[in-house]
Structures are given as C-alpha cells and as structure tokens.
Chains A and B, each alone.
Chain A
Amino acid sequence: MLHASRADLAAVVRLLRDEDGFNMCLDVTAVDYLTYEPDRALPPGVTPERFEVVVTLMSHSERGRLRLRVQVPGDDPTCPSLFDVHPGSEASEREVFDLFGVIFEGHPDLTRILMPEDWDGHPLRKDHAMGRIPVQFKGADRQDAR
C-alpha cells in the first residue's frame, strides 16, 4: 500500500509502470470518508481529506498487487486522470466521477456511465441518502398521488 499526493499521482503510476513492472491498472475507485468515525490509519505527512481515490495496480512479472491511495478534498474534488498511463482506467474513472463526483482532469470523456445523463447528485456520497430520491423518468408527466 502506498500513499501519493494528487500532484504526483500520474507520475508515480507512470514510474511504477516503467520501472517496477506494475503494468496493469486493475481498478480505480473511491471512498467518501465523510461520516467515518475511527482513526484513519494514514502515515505521517498525509492529511486526511473527505475523498480518497484508491488505485489498484497489478504486476504480472512480480506477481503482486499494489494499492495507491490519494486524498482528495471535498471542496475541490479533482484528481489527475490516469488515462495517459493506463487507458484501461477510463471506465472506472467515469464510474467514480458518476457516483462520487470526483473530477478526473485529463480524462477524454468524463460523462456519467451508470446513472442517466441528467441525474442530480452522486449516489455513493455519504450525504446522498438511500431511498429518499424520487425515481426520475424522462418525459413522464407528474401525476399527483391518489
């Protein structure tokens, strides 16, 4: 497990790919730590922020995985995209953008992937409560409940 700053992320991943053989990006996901209560195990020098982008890398030659964690503040949810290093991160980054609202700078096509294009909000954020959002249908007339 490794921690990286937002500015370094792309460079670190590129270095890991070229120097250490972490040739595949398995997954990009995120965690919203808004309501997390216990102490977060972070190394000294890393300030906890609301979002954490988690990148899982795979090395076929070393037969191992590596987890990179990046702190992303809630008032500025941006993070550099890994598309240039690993094009396979594209769909996962779109998913994180869709469900958490983290904006990946440099992503070629950052649009919603799971939710409809005109959906409001980001469902996996902790302040997006379950079951409280009226189901949105396109072009359906609103009818008062009888």
Chain B
Amino acid sequence: MTARSSAGAKELLRELGATLRLSESEAAELVSEGPSEDQTMIINMGPQHPSTHGVLRLMLELEGETVLRTKPIVGYLHTGMEKTGEDLTYLQGATNVTRMDYAAPLFSELAFALTTEKLLGIAEDIPPRAQWIRMLLTELNRMTSHLLFLATNGMDMGAVSMMLYGWRDREEGLRTLEMITGLRMNHNYIRPGGVAADLPDGWRDQVLKFLDGVAPSLAEYDVLLTGQPIYRERLQGVGIITAEEAIALGATGPILRSTGVPWDLRRDLPYLHYDEVDFDVVVGSYGDCFDRYAIRINEVRESIKIIRQILDQLPRGDYRIQDKKVTPPPRARIDESMEALIHHFKIFTEGFKVPAGEAYAAVESPRGELGCYIVSDGTSKPYRMHIRGPSFVNLQTLPHMMRGGLIADAVAVISSVDPIMGEVDR
C-alpha cells in the first residue's frame, strides 16, 4: 500500500497539532485581510457543501492543496434534544431521541429504553421475545444505515451508480421497517418495557425478501467498488489514523475497528441477547478510509448472519413487560373496566414515575458507542437526559485524519467518518 497522503504528513506542522484552534470571528478577520505570500490560507468547507453530510462546516488551513489543520464547526442544526427531553415523560422520551440519529433511529430508542429500564429496576424482567425483536429491529436498522453509508460514500467518490444501488437496497430495508413499526423513520417502536407492538403478519417473508435481495447486491458492490482500481486509489492510504490516536480521541465503532482494535459492544459488553448469536467483529489494519469502507460493507454481511439466527431463535411470549406501572392495559379491557380506562388515561397523560437515581446504558450503533445517561428525581420526567453521541465524539478524529492530505481527499475522509449531524448537534 502506498501511503500517499501520510508521506509528508508526519513532519508537517507536528508541533502545532492537527486541530485548528482559531475562533470563527478571528478567522473572518484573517479572510478579509486576504492571504499573503508567506501565509497559509484558511477556507471554509460547508455548511452547505453537498458532501458534508448535513450541516457540517470545516475550517481548513491550506498550504497550496495540502490540508494542514482543520476545525470542525457544528451547531447549525441545534435542536435542543436534551433540553426537550427534560420536558417530556419517559413514555414520550422515545419520540424525542428517535429524531437524533435519523439514519439509525432505533438505536437511540434502544439506548433510552435500556437506561429507563435500569432506573426502574426491571431490566432483568423484560420478556425474551421483546429483547429478540429489539435485536432484529436494530440489526435491520444497522443494515439500512450502512447501506446509506455505502451509497453516500460512492456518491462522494463520484461513483453515482453506487449511490443509486445503495439507495435502492436501503429502500427495501426501510420498507421492512415500515411494515413492522409503521414508519420509515422516527419509529418510536422500542419503548421502556418492551416494544410498541408485536410483529405483524407476514413479517418473516418481508425480512427474508430483504435479506435475499441484499446478499447478491453486496457481491455487486464488491465488483463495482471493492476491486475497482480508481476507487481503491481514492481510499487506500487516505485519512490514516493510528490505534493510539483513535483511543486517545475516544473514537468508537468502525473508526476504532479500522485501526485494528477489536472492540464491539455487542460482543465485549453484550446487551439484549447478543451473547447467544454467532457473528464476527470485523477489524481493519491500516486505519484508512478503505478499511472503514470495508468494515461497513462486511458488517452488513454480519448483520444478515445475525438476523438469520434471530429468525430461527425468536421465542414466543409477551412483547412487553406485564408490569401495570409501565404497560398500558390492553385495548379490550378499556371497554369493560373503568379502572383500566383510568389507568390508561393516567399512563398516557402523566406517564409513569421512575425512582430517583441515575443510570447509563450504551449500545453499539452503526457509528459506535451510543450511550444514554439519565438522572431521575422520582417524577415521571427525566431530570437530566444526556446522549453520548458517537458521531459527535468521532468528529474529533477528522483533523487528525485530514492532516497532510489533499483537499480533494477531504471529501473521502468526511464520508468515511459517516457523521450524522442530527446526532452531533443535539
């Protein structure tokens, strides 16, 4: 492998670091002065640049075409999810967090539900069927999220046909999710206590149809991209990050695994029933953009493997906990029992009370460790709800990956980090 971009990078401005420490107003003054002969140039990339995956703005310090230092600037999409979370009940909370990571909404719901269940002390009592349904849904969601990455990564590299194919396959995945949850995104399907509804009739055929469709597509992608010289040339040796850097910067998910650290929460700190299914953790070795691409395309294959095992092992039983405190009474009971009606009304207006305390739970989202930290004061609303967004932390690795690379490679690097701005700007 020719480490094209890292060739001169090692010695380049090492003492100053990779991150540009310059406020926006200072940069504006510099720009108005204009660059002189001996100065480096600071340019802005984004927030409207088509390849910055939403509203990410990068302040780049350039010398010619070489990127010296970078500063990611976020905050253009500030939606105030954490503040809003303090004003919604635990039952409504899932509708809030599902809007954060709009490419993988079910993972946010899952992290929120697991944390709430920890606080309620019912984490052990969730029926197995609910847990397996959660696994099924999140793995389907991981596939659609990675297919979206493959599509946009291809688009950023100029492989427009890949964009169309990736979108086509993701569409079938979203159709499957829609069939099960009722919505293509913002599902609000995984809730504290279980899931919103049992799997509908015909779900197995739809899931199998999706899996059978994706498997040959992945072989197509291999022909189209993996072995394709131009594509490899654009990704290999670009945006290199070492394992030490990735750990120091708190990077998780495919970015950490691309450096050779075999860390996957599903295997190493299992939640739900991941310790009962068999799958491989995909690890890279160079820590470059190509490794991150390869990890994601192979994780789609692993997800297919997991889902096939889930289809075989899915147990029968309740899809939500039969705890009167958390679960609303069945619809039929409301017609015949005043008690049930009152109970139903109270759960949906006031919500349920959660004992005071604090809890943290994390899941392996397509982008890394997605954690949820809740402090409860004993009322039906969280006192403080915090989400540890993997994209937010992973963005810090951008300056280190870009240092010494060309501006044309910046697009490849941003794409390989796969940031979802809804989660960054919460």
Residues of A within 8 A of B (CB): 23-27, 29, 31-32, 36-39, 41, 54, 56, 58, 60, 63-65, 67, 86-92, 95, 99, 108-109, 111-117, 123-124, 130
Contacts of A124 in B (CB 8 A): 82-83, 384
Q: Is A87 touching B24 in the complex (CB atoms < 8 A)? A: no
Complex-state Cα separation, A1 to B73, whole angstroms: 33
Q: B271 in the interface, Cβ–Cβ < 8 Å?
A: no
Q: A63-B268, A123-B83 are in contact. Are A113 and B396 (CB under 8 A)?
A: no
Q: Is B396 touching A88 in the complex (CB atoms < 8 A)? A: yes
In the complex, how many angstroms separate the beta carbon of A65 from the nearest chain B beta carbon? 7
How big is chain B's contact interface, by range? 35 or more
Nearest B residue to A128 via CB reads B83
B interface majority secondary structure: mixed
Q: A37-B378, A54-B373, A130-B87 are in contact. Are A114 and B75 (CB under 8 A)?
A: yes
Known: A56-B371, A109-B21, A117-B24; 14 extra A-B contacts, CB below 8 A, are A24-B247, A26-B250, A26-B362, A26-B369, A29-B386, A32-B384, A39-B356, A89-B250, A92-B392, A95-B392, A115-B78, A117-B25, A123-B83, A130-B84
Q: Is A114 touching B247 in the complex (CB atoms < 8 A)? A: no
Could you say which of B21, B388, B393, B395 contacts A108, with CB atoms under 8 Å apart? B21
Complex-state Cα separation, A65 to B269, whole angstroms: 10
Contacts of A114 in B (CB 8 A): 74-75, 78, 425-426
Q: Is B371 touching A26 in the complex (CB atoms < 8 A)? A: yes
Residues of B within 8 A of A (CB): 19, 21, 23-25, 74-75, 78, 80, 82-84, 87, 247-252, 261, 263, 268-269, 356-357, 360, 362, 369, 371, 373, 375, 377-378, 383-384, 386, 388, 392-393, 395-396, 425-426
Q: Is A63 touching B269 in the complex (CB atoms < 8 A)? A: yes
Nearest B residue to A92 via CB reads B393
Q: Which of B25, B252, B386, B395 has its CB near the most chain A CB atoms (within 10 A)?
A: B386
Contacts of B80 in A (CB 8 A): 123
Q: Is B396 touching A91 in the complex (CB atoms < 8 A)? A: yes
Contacts of B362 in A (CB 8 A): 26, 65
Nearest A residue to B250 via CB reads A88
A-B contact pairs, 30 of them (CB 8 A): A23-B247, A26-B250, A26-B252, A26-B369, A27-B371, A27-B386, A31-B384, A38-B377, A58-B369, A60-B261, A63-B268, A63-B269, A64-B269, A65-B360, A87-B248, A88-B248, A89-B250, A90-B19, A90-B396, A91-B392, A91-B393, A91-B395, A92-B392, A112-B75, A113-B74, A114-B75, A114-B78, A123-B83, A130-B84, A130-B87
In the complex, how many angstroms separate the beta carbon of B369 from the nearest chain A beta carbon? 6
Complex-state Cα separation, A27 to B250, whole angstroms: 8
Contacts of B251 in A (CB 8 A): 88
